[in-house]
């Protein structure tokens, strides 16, 4: 039986945590208000500088995330991104 893969969210992580991860050296991805399918071939972590997003995994409940959230998406997860305000 396959396990349900979950999205992990750290709300308002410390500056120290962000520096440990090197967040401030990551490239910046932007996207306008939209809805689209996405698949994660490998685990991916992102830090939201702005925006309001609902991500719904194919096998799970919708997850809300946005400004100030550090989010990790598991490898192999397929989902729908619904960007409510620009990222």
Are the C-beta atoms of 80 and 35 separated by less than 8 Å?
yes
Are the C-beta atoms of 5 and 46 separated by less than 8 Å?
no
Q: Percentage of the chain with pLDDT > 70?
A: 95
User: In the structure, what pLDDT confidence band is assigned to residue 1 with cuts at 50, 70 and 90?
Assistant: very low
Residue spans of the domains in the chain: they are 8-85
Indicate the Cα dihedral angle 40, 4, 58, 54, nearest 10°: -80
The two three-digit tokens of residue 87, written as one number: 């990222």
Q: Percentage of the chain with pLDDT > 90?
A: 91
| Mean pLDDT across 69-82 | 97
Mind giving me the DSSP string for 27-67? Answer: PP----SEEEEEE-SS-EEEE-SS-EEEEEETTS--EEEET
The per-residue pLDDT for 5 is 72
The per-residue pLDDT for 4 is 58
Model confidence over 2-37: pLDDT tens digits? 455 799 999 999 999 999 999 999 999 999 999 999
Architecture (CATH level 2) of domain 8-85: Sandwich (2.60)
């Amino acid at each position: 039986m396959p396990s349900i893969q979950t999205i992990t969210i750290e709300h308002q992580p410390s500056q120290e945590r962000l520096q440990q991860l090197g967040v401030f050296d990551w490239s910046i991805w932007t996207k306008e208000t939209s809805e689209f399918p996405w698949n994660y071939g490998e685990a991916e972590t992102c830090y939201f500088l702005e925006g309001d997003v609902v991500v719904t995994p194919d096998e799970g409940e919708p997850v809300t995330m946005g400004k100030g959230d550090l989010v990790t998406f598991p490898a192999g997860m397929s989902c729908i991104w619904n960007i409510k305000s620009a990222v």
